Structure 1
Amino acid sequence: MEHLTQKKKLSIMIAIMAAMFFAAINQTIVSTAMPKIISILDGMDYYTWTINIYMLTSTIATVLVGKLSDMYGRKPFLLIGILLFMVGAFLTGTSNDVFQFIAYRGIQGIGAGIIQSSAFTAVGDLFPPRERGKWMGLLTAVFGFSSVLGPLLGGYLVDHLDWHWLFWIFLPIGIIAFGMITVLFPKVEGTGKQSIDYLGSLFMTVAIVPLLLAFSWAGTEYAWGSAQILGLIATSIVFAFVFVFVETKAKNPILPLHLFKNNIVTVSNLIGFIMNFGMMGAMIYLSFFVQGVLGISPTYAGYVTMPMSIVMVISSTIIGQLISKTGKYKHFALIGVPTMIAGMAIMIFMNSVPMAILSMIVFGLGLGIGMPVFSIATQNAVSHKELGVVTASTQLFRNLGGTIGIAVMGTVMANNLKTNLQDTMQNSPVVKDLATLDPKVTEQIVGFANPQALMNKPLLEQTEANLPADVQPIFAQMIQGIRDALGDTLSTVFLTGTIVLVVAFLLVFFLKEIPLRTSNQASPEGEKEEDIVLDRQNS
């Protein structure tokens, strides 16, 4: 595909970006609306699972499809991914409870993982590493644009229409993307018929799932040192060793272990894991701060987060062009990651809308500068025949980091929130005031003494308006106390995310930089002769 005409490449890129936009807009449209949706479904105890299941299924799908797309080409998997995502989106909109919602989001995650892995790999098929920067930047910009439009539209829809429409409104775009890929994307043969590593796929899956369950339940459902959590972690470790053993014997491993002998691949994947651990773990709770602490409705919450996406779109597009022009990438990571750290550090102290917007701008700038670097670095470090699997490994580590980060940050939030709420209620004069009220009124007010109630602003306003005039100040004071407790808790979450990002920045100094290749047929510069021979033997 590298030798197609520029016009043909452009038409294929339009089709790829349409598929990426479809998956991205359906993901971002629910970001600001998710707290309210889960509140309506009465499932706040399972909030992290609505995110985790998506990340879990997309993670597994990503790594499996990476190797398979090297074998059978990208087109069939792009089509399968779009189809699964459409089915998952439709079913999610029909959910009657949080458990159905979680199951159907899992189907969406499978489709999203396939689309994401295939799309970024297809860019590598079309363009050599030296030219990929600008196109990777454009794909990042597509996601950034959806991050602007999605939260705004999602907030508006959940405030004015039934929440189910958030998952149905963009289904026509999925049909269009499916048609464009079918017509415009050429059928390209992969590496030929080879054995599929079923055992490796199985043991990789059963190693990942217990690990994610352990981090999801630790500190919330079970104590960190409980038999359940330790058992899950032990199970994950055992199957991880089995997976490694199976991969050393497999003729065509699903995740070739020799890739991790490459310094660039290993360091880039570690950075991606740690960055997403801190970033996703903290960013997923930003909606809680904007809506729960600042008391902003989902519609206007989208305007607060919008600057991050706008800045990310602009910066990623510019940085992509500069990477292609200079053929260098490391110094952009050295600028982008600390900028992200600065943005998240501001979140620790934010107590107003202007500070929230400032943190979004700074964080979005760092995200746009730094994130494209590591995908380009890993693709440039291996031969083209392993493009799919190395791209999948990058997504695997990022998704694992994000999923585990969300779970760990959820534990940090739950533990700190419980303590902060207890301190607030014990030290607040509201407790004494409640004792003087009619028991029925007291029972009604106490029912709102939890952060979940903060996500439904119209209900809070209606409840306060219906209370007797002398009771309204007591109710307002209690709600403000809960907002303060939630704000203190989220500051701890953002601080944890900042510390994790600092670790990622330190690892950037260990990232080796080699010139970006100008052809997909060339071997990576600096690749040892014995590694080339080994690659040929493995193929």
Structure 2
Amino acid sequence: MNHLSQKQKVTVMIALMAAMFFASINQTIVSSAMPRIIAMLGGMDYYSWVITIFMLMSTISTVLVGKLSDIYGRKPFLLGGIIIFMIGSFLTGLSADIFQMIAFRAIQGVGAGILMSTTVTAVGDLFAPRERAKWTGVMMAIFGFSSILGPTLGGVLIDHMAWKWLFWIFLPLGIVALVMIWLMFPKAERSSSESIDYWGSIALSASIVCLLLGFSWAGNKYAWDSPEILGLFSASIVGIVILILVERKAASPVLPLSLFKNGIVTISNSVGFLMNAGMMGAMIYLPFFVQGVEGLTPTQSGFVNIPMSLTMIILSTLVGRWISKSGKYKHFALIGVAIMIVSMIMMAYMNSVTMAVLSMTVFGIGLGLSMSVFTLTVQNALPPSQLGVATATSTLFRNLGGTIGIAIFGSVMNSTMARNMEQAMSSGAGVDLSKVDSGTAAKLSELMDPKLLMNQPMLAELQTKLPEQIQPLFAQMLDMLRSVLHDTLSSVFFLGAALVALALVLTFFLKEIPLRTSNKMPGKQEEQQVHNLQESTAN
């Protein structure tokens, strides 16, 4: 797209920003309302599948479309992603039961994966790495803005309108984005010399499905050492071995092994994996502190996240401009990751809502400084002919890190909570149930679960129904549960800080090469990349 003028490129970017906002707002708007939607449909036991299926299909389509868009160009996949996402959103709003919603969310996931990945890659087509940094920061800001607007708007809509409108309200924006891409985005010629790697695609998809299902279900639906989980992990390993064998011989591999010979790519993807795994501790479990320990409502809990999103929006936009101006990026990554570690240590010690807001604000600063750097480093280290597969691979590692991080944090939280409860009861800090009758003691024993603190309506109902003489004992029990939950969350946040600290160590080894001022590789560098690719194929 080097033939386009700067004005034409900016016009295309407006279309891409519309597509990015359409995809991101439709994902965030349902986050706060999904539990109530599932409760209306019935089938709460299958709630995790509504989330898991979207994640699975999004991850798979992201990886596969990377190579395909290198062959066929970005425009068909931008258009296809919007259309598939719109169809999935419309059908999801028509869901009559939980199983239909799971099926339609799978369609949504396919469209989301195609659209989000191709949008980021298309920015790389338009601008050289140095100028690209500025626009990547803007795209990150759009996603951050939708993360503020979406959950709040979703909460308002679910309280005042039929839930289907959460999936339908932004469909007109999808039509606008579709028309803008159709009219403004230039068509690229197909690389007819390249063939599609069907067997590699199948092996890669199977490996991802088994791996993500294994980590999603481990410690939750099945024990970590259960035959089901061990079988999924074994199948994933077998799939990876087959993938390597296939890709070594493929003429046009869906996941070129030459990518992993590039130290910048390997370190960047590893850091992205660890950062996403660690940051899940903050994103997923901070509401447990705000709602469970401090007693805020879910709506109030959402407001606690706003400072993080605002600082991330501001910093990602500014950092993009700074990188574009200087051509340097490593110090932003180092400072940003270090600040994220500080914020997670603050979370481990927080004891008030004010401390929670402050720690999330610091977290947003770190995220804004470093989030977009590692995709940029991957794109800058590889030739433009591999831009799609490079961006998709970077996204894959981040998605895997987030999924695996959630599973690990969940297991750590459950085991630590059980241990802390046992210690609290045995140390005398627990509730003495010997002073009440056996029936009341049995009822209170059933409530000895810190997760009960997240269900505030149930707690309020229990407090009104319990006899007056039991109220002090019930209040004592709640204080003990809050203490146990607080100590457990501290362990989770320390684990997150440790993972991000490992990412910081790897970042020191990241080689900084100058950001290119054009979409052409320097002669020697391009020759080396071609040599690596040929060597990988020959082997």
TM-score normalised per structure 2: 0.90
Q: State the 1:448 CA deviation.
A: 5.3
Q: State the 1:458 CA deviation.
A: 3.5
Which residue matches 1:510? 509
Question: Is 367-376 or 182-191 further displaced after alignment?
Answer: 182-191
Quote the Cα distance in structure 1 between the aligned partners of 2:445 and 2:175. 48
Question: Is 222-231 or 354-363 further displaced after alignment?
Answer: 222-231
Which residue matches 1:435? 437
Q: State the 1:222 CA deviation.
A: 3.4
Structure 1 residues 476 and 526, CA, compared in 2 at 3 Å: closer, same or farther?
Answer: farther
Which residue matches 1:532? 530
Quick check: 1:56–1:209 contact (8 Å CA) kept in 2?
A: yes
Question: Is 153-162 or 503-512 further displaced after alignment?
Answer: 153-162
Quote the Cα distance in structure 2 between the aligned partners of 1:251 and 1:491. 50
Which residue matches 1:284? 284
Question: Is 166-175 or 377-386 further displaced after alignment?
Answer: 166-175
Q: State the 1:218 CA deviation.
A: 2.7
Structure 1 residues 475 and 274, CA, compared in 2 at 3 Å: closer, same or farther?
Answer: same
Q: State the 1:535 CA deviation.
A: 4.6
Which residue matches 1:22? 22
Q: State the 1:92 CA deviation.
A: 4.1
Quote the Cα distance in structure 2 between the aligned partners of 1:211 and 1:239. 10
Quote the Cα distance in structure 2 between the aligned partners of 1:532 and 1:349. 51
Structure 1 residues 202 and 169, CA, compared in 2 at 3 Å: closer, same or farther?
Answer: same
Q: State the 1:526 CA deviation.
A: 6.0
Quote the Cα distance in structure 2 between the aligned partners of 1:421 and 1:155. 34
Structure 2 counterpart of 1:429, which letter?
A: V
Which residue matches 2:212? 212
3-state SS of paired residue (1:174): helix
Quick check: 2:308–2:364 contact (8 Å CA) kept in 1?
A: yes
3-state SS of paired residue (2:505): helix
Which residue matches 2:380? 380
Quick check: 1:424–1:482 contact (8 Å CA) kept in 2?
A: no
Quick check: 1:214–1:233 contact (8 Å CA) kept in 2?
A: yes
- 1:389-428 to 2 correspondence within 5 Å? 389-421=389-421, 428=430
Structure 2 counterpart of 1:243, which letter?
A: L
Structure 1 counterpart of 2:507, which letter?
A: V
Quote the Cα distance in structure 2 between the aligned partners of 1:119 and 1:201. 21
Which residue matches 1:523? 521
Q: Residue by residue, what CA displacement relative to the aligned partner does 1:403-457 show, whole Å, maximum 9, x if unpaired? A: 1111221222232334444555675326446636669xx65x6665545544443
Q: Residue by residue, what CA displacement relative to the aligned partner does 1:127-179 show, whole Å, maximum 9, x if unpaired? A: 11111010000000001111121232234445555655443433332232223
3-state SS of paired residue (1:320): helix
Quote the Cα distance in structure 2 between the aligned partners of 1:387 and 1:269. 15
Quote the Cα distance in structure 1 between the aligned partners of 2:41 and 2:351. 29
Q: State the 1:44 CA deviation.
A: 7.1
Q: State the 1:530 CA deviation.
A: 4.2
Quote the Cα distance in structure 1 between the aligned partners of 2:44 and 2:289. 15
Quote the Cα distance in structure 2 between the aligned partners of 1:421 and 1:90. 46
Which residue matches 1:273? 273
Structure 1 counterpart of 2:400, which letter?
A: L
Quote the Cα distance in structure 2 between the aligned partners of 1:485 and 1:36. 28
Quote the Cα distance in structure 1 between the aligned partners of 2:467 and 2:58. 50
Structure 1 residues 455 and 184, CA, compared in 2 at 3 Å: closer, same or farther?
Answer: farther
Which residue matches 1:184? 184
Structure 1 residues 438 and 482, CA, compared in 2 at 3 Å: closer, same or farther?
Answer: closer
Question: Is 296-305 or 161-170 further displaced after alignment?
Answer: 161-170
3-state SS of paired residue (1:254): coil
Percent identical among aligned pairs is 57
Structure 1 counterpart of 2:330, which letter?
A: K
Quote the Cα distance in structure 2 between the aligned partners of 1:530 and 1:17. 34
Which residue matches 1:457? 456
Give the CA RMSD over aligned residues: 2.9
Which residue matches 2:345? 345
Structure 2 counterpart of 1:202, which letter?
A: I
Structure 1 residues 424 and 110, CA, compared in 2 at 3 Å: closer, same or farther?
Answer: farther
Q: State the 1:232 CA deviation.
A: 2.2
Question: Is 201-210 or 179-188 further displaced after alignment?
Answer: 179-188
Quote the Cα distance in structure 1 between the aligned partners of 2:94 and 2:143. 26
Which residue matches 1:201? 201
Question: Is 229-238 or 528-537 further displaced after alignment?
Answer: 528-537
Quick check: 1:33–1:298 contact (8 Å CA) kept in 2?
A: no
Quick check: 2:256–2:533 contact (8 Å CA) kept in 1?
A: no
Q: State the 1:352 CA deviation.
A: 1.6
